[in-house]
Amino acid sequence: MSDVEWSSVEKTVAQAAFEKALEREIDALVNEVRARASTITKLDDVWQLNDFLSARRHEIDGKYSYRYSVLIFVFAQLVKEGWLHLHELEGLEADKRTKIKALTRM
């Protein structure tokens, strides 16, 4: 799955799908942070928010890696987690979509 196997049309589709998923996840995270922050009253709550943010940061930093060598796996994970829909990957060649779909079932 190296760089050369992705056509320029596929790259455009992939980039858009990737950004859409990230945008959705950021929106959800922003909303969750606001909701959590509105309920904190004591120091433990503050540190729990801190721990939550550190964990999410680690997870998001690791997950959103736009490298063509791993993009199939990234997309499968994003579909699995609900940040991306399979139909948003239309435009990628059938073989890649089949692989992504298969990976979402693992």
33 belongs to the binding site for its own copies (CB under 8 A): yes
50 belongs to the binding site for its own copies (CB under 8 A): yes
60 belongs to the binding site for its own copies (CB under 8 A): yes
Residue pair 82/103 in contact (Cβ under 8 Å)? The answer is no
Q: Which is nearer to its own copies, 42 or 105 (CB)?
A: 42
- Scan for tokens 């606001």, then name that residue: 34
> Total number of residues binding its own copies (CB under 8 A)?
22
Residue pair 13/92 in contact (Cβ under 8 Å)? The answer is yes
57 belongs to the binding site for its own copies (CB under 8 A): yes
Give the residue from 81, 79, 80 showing the smallest Cα distance to 90.
Answer: 79
- Give the whole-angstrom CA distance, residue 83 versus residue 24: 6
Q: How far is CA 28 from each of CA 24, 33, 43, rounded to the nearest angstrom?
A: 6, 9, 24
Q: Which is nearer to its own copies, 24 or 99 (CB)?
A: 24
Q: Which is nearer to its own copies, 4 or 61 (CB)?
A: 61
Binding site for its own copies (CB under 8 A): 26, 29-30, 33-34, 36-38, 40-43, 45-47, 49-50, 53-54, 56-57, 60
